Amino acid sequence: MTRWLVTGAAGMLGRDLTALLAARGEEFTALTRADLDITDGAAAASAVSAVKPDVVVNCAAWTAVDAAEENEAEALAINGHGPANLAAACAGLGAVLVHPSTDYVFHGDATVPYAEDAAPAPAGAYGRTKLAGEQAVLAALPNASYVVRTAWLYGAHGKNFVKTMLRLARSDVAPGVVADQYGQPTWTADVAAKIYDLVGSAAPAGIYHATSSGQTTWFGLAEEIFRLHHAMENRETTRARLTPRPLTTAEYPTPAKRPAYSVLGHAAWPAAGIAPIGDWKDALHRAFPVVADA
C-alpha cells in the first residue's frame, strides 16, 4: 500500500485530497500549517523522515494573488522555498513529490492552450513564486516529481468564486463579472482524483495540467452558477431572471494583473494513459450539489 503525506491539509485542495484518500482506504498523514510549516527546512525534513511516505503531496501554498504583489518575499518563502524543502526531504528518502502549481506561471496572452512544455512567463508576483517552486521541485527530483498545474479552483471548502456567486444568488444580488478573461473552472475533487491516478500510474515524472476541459469566462461561469441555483430553487418568479452583468477587465481593476487567456492543454494525460478532467460545465454540474450544501 502507498503511504501518503499531505501538507497544507486544511486548504481547499488538501481537504478534498484527504477526503478522497480516506474514501479509498489509503494510509495517509495529513499535516496542516499548524502541524508543519513547510518554510522550516528542518521541520520539513523531520516530518518526512518520521512518516516515511512513498509520496508527499504539497497542498500548502500562498494563494492570495493580489497580496503577493506587496509581500513577494513571504509568498516566495511558502511557494518557492517550501517546496524546495520538501523536495530535499523526499530526495533523501526516495519519496515521490506531487506539487500543485498554477496557470499564473504563464503570461496569459496566448490564443491557443498552453502546452505543458510552453515557456513560462509570469505576469506577477504570485506566478513568479509558484514558478520558483516548480523549478526547485523539478530540479531536485527530475525522475520522482509531478508538477500538477491547475487553475480557477472551486470546491466545498474555503473561499472560492462558486461559493461567492452562490451567496450573491441566494441574496438576490446580480454582480458585475469580468467577461474578457478566459480559463477553465476546475473542481478540487477532480484535481484530487487526477493526483491519485498519477501516483497510481507509471506516468513519467514531469508537468501535468489538471484543469477542466473546454473554456469559459468568469462571466460565463457566473451565469451557469446562477442558472443552477435558480433551477435548484425551482424559481418561477421574476427573481429567477436575476443574472450577472458582463464587465471588462478595465472595469474591474485588481492589484495583480489577471491573465486574459489561461487555458491549459492536456496532452500529457493521454500520453501517460490517464484521461484528462472532462468539460468544465459537466464538472460544475457534478460539483454543484456538494458545494451548495457545504
Ligand X SMILES: NC(=O)c1ccc[n+]([C@@H]2O[C@H](COP(=O)([O-])OP(=O)(O)OC[C@H]3O[C@@H](n4cnc5c(N)ncnc54)[C@H](OP(=O)(O)O)[C@@H]3O)[C@@H](O)[C@H]2O)c1
In the complex, the residues that contact ligand X under the rule CB under 6 A are 7-8, 10-14, 33, 36-39, 59-63, 78, 82, 100, 102, 130, 150-153, 158
Q: Which is nearer to ligand X, 59 or 168 (CB)?
A: 59
Task: Let me know: does 236 contact 179? Beta carbons within 8 Å.
Answer: no
Q: Which is nearer to ligand X, 22 or 232 (CB)?
A: 22
Element (H, E) at 66: helix 65-70
Task: Let me know: does 264 contact 254? Beta carbons within 8 Å.
Answer: no
Q: What is the distance in angstroms between the CA of the first residue and the CA of the last residue of the chain?
A: 31
CB of 61 to ligand X, least distance (A): 3
Sign for the CA dihedral angle at 187, 8, 148, 15 comes to negative
Q: Which is nearer to ligand X, 82 or 230 (CB)?
A: 82
Task: Let me know: does 86 contact 136? Beta carbons within 8 Å.
Answer: no
Sign for the CA dihedral angle at 22, 27, 33, 34 comes to positive
What backbone phi and psi angles, to 5 degrees, belong to 29? Answer: -115, 125
Q: Which is nearer to ligand X, 6 or 168 (CB)?
A: 6
CB of 13 to ligand X, least distance (A): 3
126 part of the active site: yes
Element (H, E) at 149: strand 145-150
Element (H, E) at 219: helix 218-233
CB of 28 to ligand X, least distance (A): 16
CA distance 238 to 232: 16
As given in the structure block, the three cell numbers for residue 98 are: 506531487
What backbone phi and psi angles, to 5 degrees, belong to 209? Answer: -110, 100
CA distance 12 to 20: 13
CB of 200 to ligand X, least distance (A): 20
CB of 63 to ligand X, least distance (A): 4
CB of 239 to ligand X, least distance (A): 29
Catalytic residue among 126, 146, 208, 261: 126
Residue nearest to ligand X (CB): 11
The β-bridge relationship of strands 182-183 and 145-150 is unpaired
Q: Which is nearer to ligand X, 191 or 230 (CB)?
A: 191
Q: Which is nearer to ligand X, 244 or 262 (CB)?
A: 262
Q: Which residue numbers are catalytic? A: 126
